Each structure stands twice: as structure tokens, then as C-alpha cells.
A = this chain, B = another copy of it.
Amino acid sequence: MRYPHAIIAVLFLALQPCLAQTDYEPSETNQPGKEYPKVDSEGRVKVEVLAPEANKVQLDIGGVKYDLTKNDEGVWTGESAPQEEGFHYYQLNIDGASVPDPGTKYYYGAGRWGSGIEIPATDREIYALKNVPHGRVSEQLYFSNITQAWRRCFVYTPPEYSKDTNTKYPVLYLQHGSFEDETGWASQGKANLILDNLIAENKAVPMIIVMDNGYAYKPQDSSTEGNRRPQSAFEEVLIQEVIPMIDAEYRTKSDRAHRAIAGLSMGANQTMRIIMNNLDKFAYYGGFSGTSNYPTSDKIDTKTFLNGAFDDGKAVEEKIKVFWLGLGTKEPDPFPGSVGAFRDMLEEQGIDHVYYESPETAHEWLTWRRSLYQYAQLLFK
């Protein structure tokens, strides 16, 4: 049977409202060979799972639970409202069990290994896997005498590191957020690809990046008995164990002028304390969606805040070559308030800083990928 072109055109127009919702593509975070989940051009997430005997299956993403519907073969399917661009953690709920979607790769965040999905961002080129020279991400195991435990960091070395074996490199220590771990930055954070691309375009100096785990406790401090919050030993581990190990194992420039530190959220808070306690060791700070006055938005008293570390603004200015802060425009409370109060303090103390706003992103990885992209361009220059 053949239809005149005009009729086909009319049919096509009539079907437009349906077609508009059918540009779903398999997500780039899917496991090999898996068709679902899919993402459409407006950021909707569509999932599919076989659960023939289930009563209720939901897609749980962005704080909303979407009911799925079952077909005759026992396959449940459904879609979310449009999501913000970038990376999101999510899960499925099957009769009340919160489980990973068997279709995706898994990421550590929100305190568990679970599903993640990528809504392609307008500026995804900054972290795309491109035909440029690539550095390496290496797993470094070490025994911490301070915590009396085996720990692990990941180390990015730039593309030329293995070729030009006499050159030494500056180092950025880069930390994850709460309920995340040392795997975050080189997985969902794409730190390696961001640097590969920046270095290829001569926008960033080739550098080593060290990504450790911000959770560290001494054996006697690791219990949470009596609701006592355990005392973090991360600063001690980083300063006394990780930095000396990295300087011994890698070809680093080991003076303060060639060492930077940055972190996201909890990591921004931690690394700000660390740099202010160790100005002899770092010359660059980056706080992505966080500061050490978190969670309050009260005016900061520089006499007491971080033991008066910002009280002599001029001294801070002289020591820290780049003081960098970033925030997504859609971040929820208390982040805008506490970062705002911190910036007010810097202003009053006459401490110059760079402030970057990530358009249309929340307290999520696209904010932090963009922050690293911006921040890394200012380092060691």
C-alpha cells in the first residue's frame, strides 16, 4: 500500500506530539549492551525492569518517586520529569526495596554504590573523551599508621608524564564530598578527561592530581558511641602520610608554590581548614560548593573563625596565590547562604578571590566538573 506524500506529511504533523517524546537514547552510563535506562533530549529518564511478580515499582530520582506501569510480560516501565543536565544518582524501588537499576554502571555516592545517569549537558565537550593525549589514573594503596588501616588514593598523571621522565610536575590535591569516596573525581567527576582536554588546548599546566578518601579516623576515634561524632584524622593523614608518599613516588615539584588543594562540599570545608593550618604547604585553594563556615549564613567573626586564620587579610592574600570559590545557581540552602557569608568576610578582610557560578546546576557533579575546569586553568601560572 502506498500513500501520497501529502498524506504522509499530514500524518507526520499529527504524530508530532508523540514523536516529541520518542527521541530517547540509551544512557551513556549504561552497562555494555543494555538498552535501558534511556534519556530524551529534554532530560527525561525512562527505565525498564522485568519484575513479573511485583506489586509496585518506582523510579526514584531527584527526590521524586515515579510509579512505573507493568505490561503483559511483567516488564515495568516509566519515565521521570525532565532532569537538570549533568550527572545524577538514582535507584529503583521494587515493592519497597531500594536497589540499583540493573541497567547502569555503578558509582559511589549518597553513601552507597548505586546507579547513576548522565543528562547530556550543553557544555559536555569540556569533559568528553576526545582524540587528545590521555593521562593515566593509578590506584595507590598505602597503609596509614595514623588510622592503622589500609587506604587508597587515585593519582592522575598528565599525558607526557611517562614520556619525559626528567620533568617534575605540580600537584593538586582534590577531595570528594560527603557520602562519596576516592573514586568519585575520576569516575563521575571526570577529572582525568577535564585535565586531558585542558592540557591538550594549552589551557592548563600539566599537573598531577591526587584524589584521596576524606574519611579518616584514628582507631580510638572511629566509634560513634554515645552519639559522639568521631574526630576526623584526615588532615593528619594528608599532611603526614599522603603528601610525603606522593612526593616520594611521583616526580613532583614539592614546594608550596607548586601545590594546590581543592574539594567539593564537605571536601571544600575540609580543604579550607587544611590550607589555613598549613600555609607553608599550599599556595592555591579551591572551594567547590562549600566553605568552612557551613552550614551557617551568619556573619563570620574573624577573631574566632578557624582560629583567626582570616583575621590578617593581608597575610592571607600574600600567601594564597588563587583563592577560588564556585557554586551552582540552583544550589539549595544552606549552600548559597554560607558561601555568601564567607565571601562577605573575604571582602571585608580585603582578600581577593575568584567567584564562579555554574549556570542552572544544583549541588551535583556538573557544578563540580565545571568548577574544576575553571579552577585548573588558574593553577601554577
Name A's B-contacting residues (CB within 8 A).
31-33, 49-57, 74, 92, 94-100, 102, 105-106, 111-114, 129, 131, 134, 136-143, 150, 162-163, 165, 181, 249-250
- A112 CA to B34 CA in the complex, in Å? 9
Residues of chain B contacted by A163 (CB below 8 angstroms): 249
A112 and B50 in contact, given A98-B102, A129-B150, A137-B139 (Cβ under 8 angstroms): no
- A32 CA to B105 CA in the complex, in Å? 18
- Chain B, Cβ-Cβ closest to A57: B97
Kindly list the 3 A-B residue pairs having the minimum CB-CB distance in the complex, ordered from nearest: A51-B97, A54-B95, A53-B95
A99 and B96 in contact, given A53-B56, A138-B136, A162-B249 (Cβ under 8 angstroms): no
Min distance, Cβ A325 to any Cβ of chain B, angstroms: 30
Number of copies: 2
- A150 CA to B130 CA in the complex, in Å? 9
- Chain B, Cβ-Cβ closest to A136: B138
- Chain B, Cβ-Cβ closest to A101: B99
Residues of chain B contacted by A94 (CB below 8 angstroms): 51, 54, 94-95, 97, 99
- A114 CA to B74 CA in the complex, in Å? 22
Min distance, Cβ A65 to any Cβ of chain B, angstroms: 13
Show 27 residue pairs from A and B whose CB-CB distance is below 8 angstroms, ordered by the A residue.
A31-B112, A31-B113, A50-B97, A51-B94, A51-B95, A51-B96, A52-B95, A53-B55, A53-B95, A53-B96, A54-B94, A54-B96, A92-B99, A94-B94, A94-B95, A94-B99, A95-B95, A97-B99, A99-B100, A100-B102, A102-B112, A102-B114, A129-B141, A134-B140, A134-B142, A136-B139, A138-B138
A141 and B134 in contact, given A31-B112, A51-B95 (Cβ under 8 angstroms): yes
Residues of chain B contacted by A50 (CB below 8 angstroms): 96-98
Residues of chain B contacted by A31 (CB below 8 angstroms): 112-113
- A107 CA to B143 CA in the complex, in Å? 24
- A105 CA to B107 CA in the complex, in Å? 10
- A138 CA to B53 CA in the complex, in Å? 43
Residues of chain B contacted by A142 (CB below 8 angstroms): 134
- A102 CA to B129 CA in the complex, in Å? 30
Residues of chain B contacted by A95 (CB below 8 angstroms): 51-55, 94-95
- Chain B, Cβ-Cβ closest to A52: B96
Residues of chain B contacted by A131 (CB below 8 angstroms): 143
- Chain B, Cβ-Cβ closest to A99: B99
Residues of chain B contacted by A92 (CB below 8 angstroms): 99
- A56 CA to B52 CA in the complex, in Å? 11
Residues of chain B contacted by A102 (CB below 8 angstroms): 97-100, 112, 114
- A182 CA to B368 CA in the complex, in Å? 28
Residues of chain B contacted by A114 (CB below 8 angstroms): 102
**Is the pair B162, A250 in contact by a Cβ cutoff of 8 Å?**
yes
- A36 CA to B53 CA in the complex, in Å? 25
Min distance, Cβ A49 to any Cβ of chain B, angstroms: 6
- A249 CA to B111 CA in the complex, in Å? 36
- Identify which of B98, B106, B111 contacts A33 (C-beta below 8 A): B111
